[in-house]
Amino acid sequence: MTFQGFLGPHPRLTPLDEGSYTREGAVGFPILAQPPSDLTGRSQLLRETLWALVRRESALRLGLGGTGGRSCRPLAPLAVRFAIRAPGRMIPSGSSRRFDSQRGGMRQSVRWRWVLLLWLACAGPVVVAGEAEWKANILAGQLAYNRGDYRGATAPFELALKEAELVFGREHPNTASTVERVATLYQAQGRYADAESLFRRSLAIREKVLGAQHRDVAASLNNLALLYWAQDRTAEAEPLYRRALVIMEKAIGAEDPALATSLNNLALIYQAQGRYADAEPLFRRSLAIREKALGPEHSDVAQSLNNLAGLYKELGRYSDAEPLYRRALM
């Protein structure tokens, strides 16, 4: 089945500098100076050893020496065990106040201070470095995708997805956007079954985290519908486009260019189904929104002109189609 007209822009791929859910300007935790020095015996030795490893890991993960490893992660159980077995009487550095073993609450506070300190020094830089790697892989994959190098985009996008799951978790908007990028890549490669699974996963995350009426949910619906369109599964694409259109009208208003894309896509579905009377007003509304918002010379306006002309041509209304085609070419 051959479709006339352009099906709207590529599926929504949010740039790195957009989106309210991408943390910007993240910085690492500082390298802390030294452990308390007024402790004795095995406790002092163990704490100094932990501290040395913490400082090494922090320096590595913040790019102050070599490449970062994961040496801090195995220390977490050790830190917890040490905190539980720590002696009751401790004198924090720079303080003359003693915490007696009978004052369990204060003693436990001092114990768990070490656990928190270890987490700050290890987990913080790991998260910051992981987010940087995620962004770098997204950028590399997007550059390859944009130049049509789908094979070259595969490894960066798949690595970015792993980093997103590690840094943000499996149910986070940034993870959903990364899943969507991988799905779009798989669709371009003709891996439709893999793409559908990922598009559905992204949609489920966004519905759960952002709510069913969020515009990002509409973007996921649109992208899944595009996949069905590519496989001539118009009956499955239609309800997705209809739902996306309702969400977009509520979320962004009736005169936003993004709404014109949803109108255009649903109109193309109706045209493919032979529902010309339903398709024409949607094409006309999409054209009007784009002309008003973008100006008559914009490429999206030319797309709307071409699509409406294609509908008239299919109906045999050549006198109506010709001026639209001429204007689209100008």
Predicted TM-score (pTM) of this structure: 0.63
Q: What per-residue confidence (pLDDT) applies to 60?
A: 44
Query: Are 11 and 226 contacting, i.e. CB atoms less than 8 angstroms apart?
Result: yes
81's tokens: 């065990």
Sequence-distant (6+) residues with CB within 8 A of 258 are 215, 248, 252
Integer angstrom CA distances of residue 64 from 57, 71, 251, 281 = 10, 15, 45, 61
Report the candidate in 265, 187, 188, 190 with the shortest Cα–Cα distance to residue 222.
265
CA-CA distance, 132 to 82, in Å (whole number)?
32
Q: What per-residue confidence (pLDDT) applies to 306?
A: 95
Q: What per-residue confidence (pLDDT) applies to 305?
A: 95
Residue 99 is given by DSSP the state B
Q: What per-residue confidence (pLDDT) applies to 253?
A: 84
Question: Which pLDDT tens digit goes with each residue over 140-180?
Answer: 999 999 999 999 999 999 999 999 999 899 999 999 999 99
Q: What per-residue confidence (pLDDT) applies to 133?
A: 87
Question: Which pLDDT tens digit goes with each residue over 27-40?
Answer: 322 233 333 444 44
Task: Report the SS3 class of residue 90.
Answer: strand
Domains of the chain: 253-330 (1.25.40.10)
Cite the DSSP H helix spans in the chain: 41-61, 75-85, 104-146, 150-167, 173-188, 192-210, 215-230, 234-252, 257-272, 276-294, 299-314, 318-329
Query: Are 56 and 121 contacting, i.e. CB atoms less than 8 angstroms apart?
Result: no
Q: What per-residue confidence (pLDDT) applies to 61?
A: 43
Low-confidence ranges of the chain (pLDDT < 70): 1-129
